Structure 1
């Protein structure tokens, strides 16, 4: 039944009654109908009418809530489907890029391997260095594509222990960092609890953030702060390095993004994108605050219960 038909069916009795009353009035009908009803019956009838009105209002409200919930669910499903499509397209792009770059880089490096460094022209060393850099970039892209799709192998993880292992690894690789990196773990009134996570992926995220702090803070202190906040574990890595220009901060988590003042430092621009992917796969996220010439604070937030 169409909407117009439904409206007509509702309004027809009123229009018919109005027409009949008009004809009777025009004909001079003046008779009065008096209906005597006991007061209890009037009260009962009034209660029935009020109940009917309330029932109709509640039914209308319930229907509106169902419609709103249905629309919200459809919107959420559409958003999730769009995100899944976007991630799949991103993964395919990285796979294509890996495939297209891998073979020419392998050919270049194989050719250079047969050249004697003692007799080779100076530009050969430059070519070899750039080929190595591209090979490292391809490896990082492949790693990012794998992280986006590999199943999480979760287990209870002690984040403080994971952070200390990451700091120890930095100390072993770069002896000059000893004494510069300080860990501040909250223990009062309670310690940060373990949380379900993939320890290998989280270790990779911490390694990347610490590596950035060390690269861009050559001689100042670095603090790693660990605390619980509103149902999440928060890890902050703060350095006193060169900082990030304000106009580049919103792009530093994009693939291959590098700030203008970081071009003189070796890197692929994949590290922070990889960190964000790992955190979001765990239901968390990462952001940063930075001031050029003063330093940077990278904040990683992970939910305690997923």
Structure 2
């Protein structure tokens, strides 16, 4: 299957030329062809100048010599089956049948209406018009095909660059732009794409800035609320005080998650990568929780320790809040990839929700006390993708589910 656009353009052009050539040839043969008609008329006139085919060889020889002398040519006359009849001068011999190359080659060959064949070393104005027409059309098609290829390739190459720009923008590179070349429709399309990309980048940047600033500014009143709570510690009911402290902690955690999510794209170029051991990093984070079992192999890689700590913490926090102890963490290495698997002893997540749990602010129905912000697993996937990896849910052999994080070692 031909999928390249420039090949389709080129083949379409060649197809149009082939149809044009075919139509011209058919019309030429249908109309008899003016050149062919002229050749036929000339052949009749030349036959009239020669002795008839029924004349004696001497009469045909004399007539051929008179014609050859009038134009100072060397001529040879053959019968319909290529038997020599007469020759003025050295006969123009044939190297076998008339389809074999002629030696010496005549400049003119006339097929007389009575079947005889006249060869001359001087041009007689007779051409094989259909052969000439076919040759010219073939040469014209080849010439146009060669000349059109650079133009077709130039147009489609710009479309390919535009396609790469669209794919880059769709992949999240908001700075993707394409060069505007020429003044045709493709150039106009490139300008329209660049304008749309500018507007998208401005809108997304403004949205991220607003979200980050709002999250940051909310910390100030949250700090004042916490301070007021501490000052009024003695006058509050302990149960109510505990509830307020829990709400403040949840709000603080939510703001921290939103702030990280809004700044994660900005960290694309500024994130600092360090050489670290993923197993050691996981051991430090697992030590913060009770009933967590860690096993695996040391895996050295270059990554952001702060972001990977957050990834592990969110996975363990998710197991702590929504699962059942104990939780398990396993680290493996295979074919240049590090695989981090986290699961707990609970029933897990149903397969139909494997993807939805990674959506921002998605909370599963029936979770205990409706805990969590709904951003933890979304951040896990973002952090994994920022390191060139991925995050997904997978079913285990015993029917439970696990979170699988893949990270490239390079």
Q: What is the TM-score with the length of structure 2 in the denominator?
A: 0.52
Question: For the residues of structure 1 that align with 2:385 and 2:279, how far apart are their CA atoms?
Answer: 20
Report whether the alignment pairs 1:226 with 2:338. no
Instruction: Measure how far apart 1:103 and its partner are.
Output: 4.6
Q: Which residue of 2 aligns with 1:200?
A: 306
What root-mean-square deviation, in Å, do the aligned CA atoms of Structure 1 and Structure 2 show? 4.6
| 1:129 and 2:246 aligned | yes
Per the alignment, do residues 119 and 108 of structure 1 end up closer, same or farther by CA in structure 2, a change over 3 Å counting? closer
Indicate yes or no: 2:164 matched with 1:76.
yes
Describe the shift of the 1:58–1:261 C-alpha distance in structure 2 as closer, same or farther (beyond 3 A): farther
Partner of 1:4: none
Q: Structure 1's 156 and 90: CA in aligned 2 closer, same or farther, altered over 3 A?
A: farther
Q: Max radius of gyration: which structure?
A: 2
Corresponding position of 2:282 = 163
Spell out the pairing of 1:255-274 with structure 2 (5 A cutoff). Answer: 255-264=360-369, 266-274=371-379
Distance in 2 (alpha carbons) for counterparts of 1:237 and 1:299: 7
Find the partner of 1:22 among 25, 31, 47: 31
The change in CA–CA distance for 1:181 and 1:91 in structure 2 (over 3 A counts) is same
Q: How far apart are residue 287 of structure 1 and its match? A: 0.7
Aligned equivalent of 2:392, options 280, 287, 290: 287
Q: Which has the higher helix share?
A: 1
Counterpart mapping for 1:98-137 below 5 A: 98-99=215-216, 101-120=218-237, 123=240, 126-137=243-254
SS in 1 for 2:340: strand
SS in 2 for 1:241: coil
Alignment of 1:168-183 (within 5 A): 170-171=286-287, 173-174=288-289, 176-177=290-291, 180-183=292-295
Structure scoring higher RCO (CA < 8 A, sep ≥ 6) equals 1
Secondary structure in structure 2 of the residue aligned to 1:206:
helix
CA distance 1:80–1:220, shift in 2 (3 Å): same
Please, which of 255, 273, 280 is the counterpart of residue 138 of structure 1?
255
Deviation digits for residues 30-89 of structure 1 (CA, Å, limit 9, x no counterpart): 3478x9994899xxxx9xx79x959948985x8777766643442232232342348646
Distance 1:109 1:31 in 2: 114
Partners of 2:368 and 2:161 lie apart in 1 by 45
**After alignment, is 195-204 or 116-125 more displaced?**
116-125
Q: Which segments of 5 or more consecutive residues in structure 1 lack a partner in the other structure?
A: 1-6, 186-190
**1:177-192 superposed matches below 5 A:** 177=291, 180-185=292-297
Count how many residue pairs are aligned between Structure 1 and Structure 2: 273
Give 1:283 deviation, angstroms.
Answer: 1.3
CA contact 1:91–1:148 (8 Å) conserved in 2: no
Per the TM alignment, residue 146 of structure 1 is displaced from its structure 2 partner at its CA by 3.0
1:300 shift after superposition: 1.0
